[in-house]
Structure 1
């Protein structure tokens, strides 16, 4: 028994309606998926987790003397390695420059969290390509653009390392009050030089220094931070084991501890 024309038209309309509904549902799912996978979940304006940074790394770069050609290359590679591999996702990276006048460099040049690259994340719950692009454009690129600003072409008269360490403690660790691991990385020859005290002359006895009026004035609290020294070997005759012992004692008295010492080539 042949079906009527009305029944055939009705079937055609039903098929068209079903096709339209399936297309609409697919479009809604695709749009929802796009916004879900491409959002930055739970990050604040500094790309930190909504609950606060998971830890903090403070980088202090000494720019009181020009870098040699070799040091410039080593420094650039160090910065890139630090950004890509040295800052865990969710950690805050705070960067200071040490100039001849510490009052001019007392605030951070960079203060952002690593948003993560998506490495190891499941494609079912995240868009790894989007996360990698976000990391490169919003975290890695701005940090590497600071490389020139963290260097100088002329030597400064003074190198106030103690005063700058106070600023990193005050405007870095204590200002943020991050509830997590703290790490301080210093790129410097560690040769403090001011009218009050100079490592280019006089004694390197920490106890005598620490008990002096100046030593008490520049004392600070690093709150248990692990300290990594990236040594710029500008004056090897002065950068001896005795000098390193001075800094070991200084950081111990300041609530920190040296966990690594690495010469920067050049």
Structure 2
């Protein structure tokens, strides 16, 4: 075999290597297909983050502003492909999807690979398809309403039974903005004439059993972040006995809970 033949073979190998590399990059960098309705990657169950605003009590203008910032922080910390849904516990005690907002983060301009996708175009798509509907939902979400019932625990358990929040869904996270003043058939924090908090609440085991009988183990494995809205005259109980009670209930239900206080003085 002549030197020219060897050089030709060598060149062919180089060309084949380049073609293979380009093909590999095209496959690995090619944008995934998205579901047109949810913006989620087709064929993949995404992690799901749900924000619930308890609207069964009135909020001040300052509190509404804080709630909006909490939601926008959740938006800004979403991973590409992670789903964000907004719900409200309304004045009738129902858990409603706010403006039917439940979308996956398709990626903003600074979250994409500029070698393969145009960041400006992706940012425009993000703002039009994801952020604009979110802003529209926010306009109503922070408008408070007063209500005779506040079935907080039941609402959480009901949500965890939804297919999009089932135990097969990875990364189930609920961000709950509430005063945590439960008022339902399972238990009510009201009625101070009945004595101290633990005297007027059922045993933790009874509350847990009531939830399990109705909703099974739906809440097990959920990560719950509570943003507590303090109420004047309730602060000591909210941050004392009630917090302890909630912690025990969620622990026995298999929920990982964190507690973030939004002080009354800073919000009103």
TM-score by length of 2: 0.73
Distance 1:259 1:217 in 2: 25
The number of aligned residues is: 225
Structure 2 counterpart of 1:184: 174
* Residue deviations 1:71-114 (CA, integer Å, cap 9, x gap): 1111122222221x2221111112221123334x3556321111
8 Å contact kept, 1:188–1:231 = yes
2:133 aligns with one of 111, 119, 142:
142
Q: Secondary structure at the match of 1:132?
A: helix
1:90 is the counterpart of 2:89: no
In structure 1, list runs of 5 or more residues that go unmatched: 1-38
* Residue deviations 1:19-68 (CA, integer Å, cap 9, x gap): xxxxxxxxxxxxxxxxxxxx964111211112324311121110011211
Structure 2 counterpart of 1:251: 250
Please list, as runs of the form range in 1=range in 2, the aligned pairs for 1:189-208 lying within 5 A after superposition.
189-201=179-191, 203-204=197-198, 208=203
Residue 152 of structure 1, CA deviation: 4.0
Residue 147 of structure 1, CA deviation: 2.0
Cα gap change, 1:238 to 1:56, in 2 (>3 Å):
same
Q: Secondary structure at the match of 1:100?
A: coil
Distance 1:113 1:186 in 2: 19
Cα gap change, 1:93 to 1:74, in 2 (>3 Å):
same
Please list, as runs of the form range in 1=range in 2, the aligned pairs for 1:123-142 lying within 5 A after superposition.
123-142=114-133
Residue 127 of structure 1, CA deviation: 0.9
1:225 aligns with one of 218, 222, 225:
222
Segments of 4+ in structure 1 off by > 6 A?
none
Name whichever of 106-115 and 152-161 sits farther off: 106-115
Please list, as runs of the form range in 1=range in 2, the aligned pairs for 1:144-183 lying within 5 A after superposition.
144-171=135-162, 173-175=164-166, 177-178=168-169, 180-183=170-173
Q: Secondary structure at the match of 1:145?
A: helix
Q: Secondary structure at the match of 2:236?
A: coil
- Which structure would you say has the larger Rg? 1
In structure 2, list runs of 5 or more residues that go unmatched: 1-29
Distance 2:129 2:32 in 1: 15
Structure 2 counterpart of 1:24: none
Name whichever of 50-59 and 195-204 sits farther off: 195-204
Structure 1 counterpart of 2:71: 79
